[in-house]
Structure 1
Amino acid sequence: MKGAVLGIFLAGLTACVLTGATILWALLLGLLCFSAYALHLGHAPRAVGTMLLTGVRKVSNILLIFCLIGMLTAIWRAAGTIPLIIRDTLPWVDPASFYLSVFILCSLMSLLLGTSFGTVSTLGVIFMLLARTAGLHEGLTAGAIMSGIYVGDRCSPMSSSAALVCALTNTNIYDNIRRMWRTGVTPFLLAGLGYKLLSPSGAAACVDSGVAGQLDAWFRLSGWALLPAAAIVALSLFRVEVKRAMTCSILAGCGVCLFLQDMPPSDLLSCLLWGYRPPEGAEMLAGGGILSMRMVAGIVLLSSSYAGIFDATGLLRGFEEGIRRMADKWGVFRATAAVSIPVSAISCNQTLATILTDQLCRLLATTRQERAIHLENSVILIAALVPWSIACSVPCATLGVGMECLPYALYLYLVPVLNGLARENRTPVAVPGRS
């Protein structure tokens, strides 16, 4: 019976991938299958409902964070914050270290925005245009962009994936970020060295795309436009609770929109809800808004509801025991990384892959903090290396490249590989109160 239930769920995921349908249909199918399995075992309908709510309550706080992220990414566009950053960072690009510059600047942008998609659709698009006009290697440029956009996606206080890991493991985001930098600084430096060595030698020239100059025609790019970014950076340094920091940044951005960019209040409200709609010619800046987060919120709600049923019915117990034996032999992180590869391939989505990997590996003998860093160093980045995963296919499509860029996404490989090579001092033991 277990095999049939899981088989139907996996078949639904596969069908969604092959047909291009939203993964939410597969998750709804899984919800029905797992609930039916619990009823088949004799659980009352009310008890099954309680199981579903148990999992949802665990991540309910993240829904507010998703709304704040949506508003923040929209308001930073409308206020001129992102355009000003783009205009003032492009002159830093050194033609002799082009790929290194791309990696570093995309990393900085993603750390500010906390979103890989938001970074790739703005700064990433400009870098690809520069590479094409200068005749530079497109796959290598896209690989450097992919590396950079996932630096912030992994360890920015504004990252939805970092917020998800915190919700799943009940950990503090700033403590997690400190551990992420400690385990990620060597891969970051090695990736930077790799891009420096791969950058064109001699006096290579990059042709200005002209986009930076046009930004002044679309926005008033004074120093006030940096106020929303300055607010989030300053408050993060003082470890202000992330929801409050985001709220302050959004309010600052609203003020900039109203008084610097002369945006009508009705347009501002529409921007916060539906996302920023830029003037003609600046389409690359479109995006954000609360509704832009509805897909990831739906995935989190549906997939997190499975947790209570998995616990009560033991549906995954056979897999968990096998993973435990793997951890006894290989170590906890290596087992987590190994599990995340097929889970990412099946899930086709970073969010679902993270939730399922955590569900399968949470019985391993790690503290909550160790559990969080294992997820951040494995599935969060490995999901972006699966060609048919949204985490990979969307950035590639945005950049107009194929999977040939993946071998050059050095950071995505180096973090899990180097952490996998590190010696683990812990061995898995039984979790108290769990069978």
Structure 2
Amino acid sequence: MVESAVLGVFCAELMVCVFTGVPIVAALVAGLALFIGYGLWRGCRLRELACMCARGVASARGVLESFVLIGALTALWRACGTVSEVVVLAAPLVRPAVAPLAIFCMCSLMSFLIGTSFGTAATMGVSIALAALVCAAARRMSAGQIASVCVLGFTPADPTVAELMSGGGVVSMVNVSLVVCLSSSFSGLFDGTGLLDGVRGLVEGLVRRVSPYAAVLAVSVPASMVACNQTLGIMLTSQLCGHAEARARDLAIDIEDAAVVVAPLVPWSIACGAVVSMCGAPAACWCAAFYLWLIPIWRLTTEAAGTRFGFDGGEGAHSAEAAENSSRAHA
């Protein structure tokens, strides 16, 4: 009962912040205090709770490192002219008749160039080194200027150009990094205090009533809304749905088709908010994320068809596998 009340209060805080325009960091700070208070009520010491938070933040270390590299890279690409060159080369391709297709293809190529939606550390580290060399050789920037751009971002001298090209830098990623740190600390607290133990029981009951994927999807939606970032949303879904599938491979596919694509559909999640803020898109653009909506709809539709028409999917596949294992055991 207490656990449900704690989670309910935190969800209410998130909703209030979203609809009133209060920075999401405020709700996360309040949530951290709430979860620590729950841990103290359970008898945990403050030092133990701090260690739980530290373990949660450590699990998102790779994401935080990527944020630092992204901030430096986006600033240096502006400073060395890479972004300007991409705009010059791409502008002739974006004609009204093929604008949606051209934009989609260019975004796909950029994702391929960077490696992931946020970028991997190895790719960023090489794209940063080259950009710094171009800044020094072509733009005649000193080492101090390059370092300043990496940290504070790039601002062109021409005010007209500055409106389009300013930005980047490590400081531009401070807010999203705070969100990741705070929300990741929740993972450690949830695991250490047992706050989600009761929810796991509900999930197990849900798995018995619907297909495993439907259960994983049902869990991933509130998990992504509470987590505020893709990494923690995946972690929470994995913690709660660890026994939904008989094989780890099947669970991984379910989470890929649920938590991974649901997180960018949450407007206040870093997976959506960070990308939207970096490209200056309207906040409601997630409604048009057709591919993200299509995957869960397709999975649910095919599983429903498999259950109705007797295709090899959903619970039928697990039943067949169980029967096969049973026959082998008797043999």
Give your verdict on TM over 0.5.
yes
Deviations 1:311-331 (A, max 9, x none): 233211222222233234433
Distance 1:54 1:78 in 2: 37
CA contact 1:14–1:346 (8 Å) conserved in 2:
no
How far 1:64 moved relative to its partner? 1.9
Query: Aligned AA for 2:203?
Result: I
Q: Would you say 1:312 and 2:313 are equivalent positions?
A: no
Q: 1:395 aligns with which of 265, 268, 276?
A: 276
Match of 1:280 in 2: 159
State how far apart, in whole Å, the 1-side matches of 2:70 and 2:254 are. 24
Q: Which runs of 5+ in 1 are unaligned?
A: 114-155, 164-241, 430-435
More displaced stretch, 354-363 vs 270-279: 354-363
Are 2:91 and 1:90 equivalent residues in the alignment?
A: yes
Aligned-residue offset at 1:34: 1.5
Structure 2 unaligned residues grouped into runs of 5+: 303-312, 323-331
Greater Rg by CA:
2
**C-alpha contact (below 8 Å) 1:72/1:250 kept by paired residues:** yes
Alpha-carbon distance in 2 for matches of 1:315, 1:24: 21
Asked if structure 2 preserves the Cα contact closer than 8 Å seen for 1:307 and 1:359, the reply is no
Letter aligned with residue 148 of structure 2? S
CA–CA distance in structure 1, aligned partners of residues 132 and 185 of structure 2? 35
Instruction: Please tell me the residue identity of whatever aligns with 1:62.
Output: V
Structure 2 vs 1, CA of residues 366 and 250 (structure 1 numbering), >3 Å: closer, same or farther?
farther
Equivalents in 2 of 1:385, 1:77: separation in Å? 28
**Pairwise CA distance, 1:412:** 2.4
Identity of aligned residues (%): 37
Q: Distance in 1 between matches of 2:80 and 2:203?
A: 48
| Inter-partner Cα distance in structure 2 for 1:323 and 1:78 | 50
Counterpart in 1 of 2:174?
294
The two structures have a TM-score, normalised by structure 1, of 0.60
User: Offset of 1:381 from its aligned partner?
Assistant: 3.4
CA deviation string 1:189-223 (max 9, x = no partner): xxxxxxxxxxxxxxxxxxxxxxxxxxxxxxxxxxx
- Aligned residues: CA RMSD: 3.3
SS in 1 for 2:102: helix
Cα deviation for residue 48 of structure 1 reads 2.2
Structure 1 residue aligned with 2:12: 11
Question: Per the alignment, in what secondary structure is the counterpart of residue 284 of structure 1?
Answer: helix
Question: Contact conserved, 2:72 with 2:169, CA < 8 A, in 1?
Answer: yes
> d(CA) in 2 for partners of 1:286 and 1:267?
15
Q: Distance in 2 between matches of 1:417 and 1:299?
A: 29
CA distance in 2, matches of 1:392, 1:56: 20
Partner of 2:204: 324
Aligned equivalent of 2:310 = none
Q: Which residue is 2:25 aligned to? A: 24
Instruction: Look up the match of 1:254.
Output: 132
Corresponding residue number in structure 2 for 1:43: 44
Instruction: Give the Cα separation in 2 of the matches to 1:48 and 1:389.
Output: 25
1:385 and 1:392 in contact (8 A); partners too? no
Q: 1:258 to 1:420 in 2, by over 3 A?
A: farther
CA offsets per residue over residues 215-253 of structure 1, 9 Å max, x none? xxxxxxxxxxxxxxxxxxxxxxxxxxx423321221111
Residue number among 235, 238, 245 corresponding to 2:123 in the alignment: 245
Contact 1:296 1:351 in 2 (8 A): no
Shift of 1:310: 1.6
